[in-house]
Amino acid sequence: MDQFYNEIRILSMVDHPNLVKLYGFCYRDDKDLLLVFEHVCNGSLYDQLHHQKDAEKKNFSCRVVGINSWRVRLRLSMEIAQALSFLHNCASPQILHRDVKTSNILLDDGFHAKLADFGLSRLVPLRARHVSTDPQGTPGYVDPEYLNCYRLTDKSDVYSFGVVLMELVSGMLPVDVSRSEKDTILSSMALLKEKEGTWKELVDSNCWREDEDINAGIASLEMMQLAFWCLRPNKEDRPSMGEVAGTLTKLWWSYGGES
Does residue 99 have an active-site annotation? yes
Per annotation, catalytic residue among 47, 99, 117, 157: 99
Q: Coil, strand or helix: which one is 100?
A: coil
Strands 131-132 and 151-152: antiparallel
Please classify residue 92 by burial: count the beta carbons closer than 10 Å to its beta carbon, then call 0-12 exposed, 13-18 middle and 19+ buried. Answer: exposed
Q: 149 and 159 in contact (C-beta within 8 Å)?
A: no
CA dihedral 70, 251, 158, 23 (to 10 degrees): -70
The angle, 0 to 180 degrees and rounded to 10, between the axes of the packed helices 70-89 and 154-170 is 170
Q: Which of 157, 185, 174, 173 is nearest to 80 (CA)?
A: 157
Q: 225 and 77 in contact (C-beta within 8 Å)?
A: no
Q: Which residues are catalytic?
A: 99
